[in-house]
Structure 1
């Protein structure tokens, strides 16, 4: 597998790959940071050019996942590495607690240790579900959404694509979060939040408008 990125969240993904015992032919990709070269942790090669990635996909393993946290950037990297010939692949910790019934997880979603997903949960593609986050029954999460550590999504709530739910935030039942929304850490969201904004506080209130995404 190829992990896009070699800093920050990529190291979190590495831990899950270790848990899954899938280290064979594991490589990282970083073509931006000159200070990162050689092997990560002295074990895992860091590819530096698109040609390297194309060759890896052709000859060793076409799977890739994204080890970078920004939702919009994750979408752009997904588009890029699909063109290189990669297959977008989920990395799901065996230490996550995932319901047995009616759970849908989109390709390329990363689920870390301690996350809890109830039955009838739907996750889109390319999501990040962080440590100890809780997603309860009948919640629907869009594409490339980031659910931060200890965040809680309560029954039947919806989160639009490219949104970020901050650490320790709580989304109450039936609340709808729009597309490209940032919910601040520790916030409690009691009412629907429209697209393209930042909301913080208890109860959460909109404090800033965001530029709409171009995809």
Structure 2
């Protein structure tokens, strides 16, 4: 499995891939073609691929073609998701064993990461490439669009709709029946009472568009 990224979030994702999924060290590699300060191996155990050519060579020899997105920011996640598919890799979702996911009418698409402490209720749809960070709560009948980043301690209450490429800041709260558009940034700690149009930034309690 390739973890796309090799720094902050990628190291957090390693906990799920290595420990929860119990993959051997040799079956886990990182990818980072931007950073110049990385060791040859992360934690002296997991090697780093530093170019797309190296990814292509790795995929040609490996039976496991899977990859997970080990980086934040919706745009970067979308771009690398598409690039790795073009290279022949296959997106998979990873869910911490310490997350709680409802048993009824839950759809989690490919390339989603769900971290420890998250709670996802029944009748929830999560689009591809989303990041559901620590201690998030997503209650019933919610729809989360593609490549949404949900920061730690976010609460999304019943029947909400979150548009694609949106970022919900840490500890923000989306009240019931609210629609948050696409490419929206919700500031940390904000409480969103009303619908938010596309390409907006909203902050404060109650949330206001700036």
- Does the alignment reach a TM-score above 0.5? yes
What's 1:53 paired with? Answer: 55
TM-score of the aligned structures, taking structure 2 as reference length: 0.97
Name whichever of 53-62 and 131-140 sits farther off: 53-62
1:56 counterpart SS class: helix
Structure-2 residue corresponding to 1:211? none
Correspondence 1:130-149 to 2 at 5 A: 130-149=133-152
Q: 1:50-89 maps to which residues of 2 (within 5 A)?
A: 50-60=52-62, 61-89=64-92
Unaligned runs of 5+ in 2: none
Q: Which residue is equivalent to 2:174?
A: 171
Match of 1:41 in 2: 43
Tell me, yes or no, if structure 1 residue 6 matches structure 2 residue 6.
Answer: yes
Q: CA–CA distance in 2 between the matches of 1:23 and 1:10? A: 17
Superimposed CA distance per residue, residues 6-47 of structure 1 (whole angstroms, 9 cap, x where no aligned partner): 001101110111222124410001111111130000000001
Aligned-residue CA RMSD (Å): 0.8
- State whether residues 88 and 108 of structure 1, in contact with CA within 8 Å, keep that contact through their aligned partners in structure 2: yes
Distance 2:167 2:106 in 1: 21
Q: What is the match of residue 113 of structure 2?
A: 110
Distance in 2 of aligned mates of 1:156 and 1:55: 45
1 CA distance for matches of 2:92 and 2:181?
26
SS of structure 1 residue aligned to 2:84: helix
Q: Tell me, what secondary structure is at the counterpart of 1:65?
A: strand
In 2, Cα distance between the equivalents of 1:204 and 1:140? Answer: 20
| 4+ runs deviating over 3 angstroms | none
2:132 counterpart residue number:
129
- Per-residue Cα deviation, 1:46-94 (whole angstroms, up to 9, x for no partner): 0111121112222212101111101011101011111111001111111
Q: How does 1:92-107 map to 2 (within 5 A)?
A: 92-107=95-110
Aligned length: 207
Q: TM-score, normalised by structure 1?
A: 0.94
Q: Which residue of 2 aligns with 1:185?
A: 188
Confirm or deny: 8 A CA contact 1:57 1:63 kept in the other structure: no
